[in-house]
Structure 1
Amino acid sequence: MIAFAFEAHLNFFGAKLIDPWNERQRVNEKIKQVFGALEFSPDWQSRPFKGVQAMKELRDIFAHGKPATFEMDEVVEAEAGELDGKRYNLGPAWETLCMPVHVLDAYEDLVAVWKIMLARSGMAEFDAMDHGEGGVTYLGDVDQASNTAG
């Protein structure tokens, strides 16, 4: 979800800053165009961009999953019972990115990236909020005698 939210941020700034904006292009092209328009070169090896990048890569793994195979041939010498209950982790490397601590860190990174993008754009946070219309319609006077709670 963090990767999708980041792409939504890219689409927001792309639509505001780039004419014409192609929402259907690849995310890496969106990144180039939006950060080019913001005149900013993110350091993808450091937070907060590193966390957002990790979630984007995790999203790509899920979307374009491929089987992973490997061979392991290791001899372990141990006393009887010493290896009871011990197992090798044969799970995929991406599983660690799903741990709550990593996801919460990545969410903090997403918020920080949003603030950087907003500052670089010159827009206020209000400019990024949904706006609507409202009004008041007079329906008539209320009869106080019939408006008592019982």
Structure 2
Amino acid sequence: MKTLIFGAGNLLLSDEGFGVHFIEYLQKHYVFPDDVTLYDGGTLGIMVCHMLEEADQVFLVDVIEAKGEPGDIYRYEKEDFMLGKLPIKMSPHQIGIQEVLALSEIRDRCPEKVTLFGIIPASYEAGAELSPLLAGKLPGLAELVVAEITAAGSPVEKC
């Protein structure tokens, strides 16, 4: 099973870059098997459609605008995207993941399993570092994603 871990975000706007920082965190702390791809999707939106379509399983990590407190992490599955049940708009770099997945679905190339881990940002201030609150969320989310990948049959090693 080909797995894609896709981090989205803008590194110049503090917490907006959470998904990209997440990919960097995984690269520093884990060794993944060949069937798992870590991808810094930045703010590319529709330009990375092919990356999603080549995977069987996708984990998306991005900031979201949703009810809750900064640092709250929400999990959404493909059905939430495709049925329009997401009561949120993801970060400002839209055209977003929802539109990319809809396009892939129309082309009959959307992966079977798509999971979004969305986190509410604490800051959109200019700067390349995460707020301390969101930086502190990286290890726990990494453990969760790694556990799911390992459970699906792709062993991941900690550095």
> Could you tell me the TM-score, scaled by structure 1's length?
0.33
| Greater radius of gyration (CA) | 1
Bigger helix fraction: 1
Structure number with the bigger relative contact order (C-alpha 8 A, sep ≥ 6) is 2
Decide which structure has greater strand share: 2
TM-score (norm 2): 0.31
